[in-house]
Amino acid sequence: MEGYNFSWCQLGSIDEGRPNLGGKTSVVVYRLMQYTMRAVLEKEYGDETTRKTLAKAGKLAGVEFCRNVLDISLPLNKFLAQLHDVLIDLEIGVLKVEKSDAANLSFTVTVSEDLDCSGLPIQGVSVCDYDEGFIEGIFNIYTGKEFEVKEIDCWATGERTCRFTINLKK
């Protein structure tokens, strides 16, 4: 994404820097970082700006993730299978495609056991703004088109999986 001071190489060499601990960490640690950052952003900038900011950060991450981890030359079904496998391998979540309209590039997917919210107490609002952006960034790079991703079900609203609609931006 243009205009942001981030590149994949800034992640460094995990093997070199963590020869004993490796690349895995606790979901609690990830959530501690995410939800304390969210709390500070909400206090400083309000809920709407925080949600937009987290979605933008997720989109940037999805773009870079897709460019550096996924094979975008694969046909759609194989690409989605690869995405499913990589998300499990990296312990991000379990992706399932519920609806797929390849001709119109419209999808509904679920992500269960996700990093962001699976197991959270019910809050009455969805919290997976970062995930919306992450998925959007992946689909944007894979297709070369702009998408809109919206979470329609969330663990934090009482569902037991997160569900997202993925549609071409109009």
Digit-coded pLDDT (tens) for 132-159: 999 999 999 999 999 999 999 999 999 9
79 domain residue, yes or no: yes
pTM, two decimals, is 0.96
Structural domain boundaries enclosing 26 = 8-168
CA angle 160, 165, 169 (to 5 degrees): 155
Question: Residue 111: which CATH number?
Answer: 3.30.1380.20
> Which of 67, 71, 73 has the alpha carbon at shortest distance from 83?
71
| DSSP code of residue 10 | G
Please provide the average confidence, as pLDDT, over all residues in the chain: 96
**What residue type is 42 in one-letter code?**
E
52 domain residue, yes or no: yes
Cα 3 from Cα 14, distance rounded (Å): 26
Give mean pLDDT, residues 103-107: 96
CB neighbour list of residue 69: distance below 8 Å, 6 or more residues apart: 86
Give mean pLDDT, residues 14-20: 95
* Number of domain units in the chain: 1
2 domain residue, yes or no: no
pLDDT band at 2 (very low <50, low <70, confident <90, very high): confident
112 domain residue, yes or no: yes
3 domain residue, yes or no: no
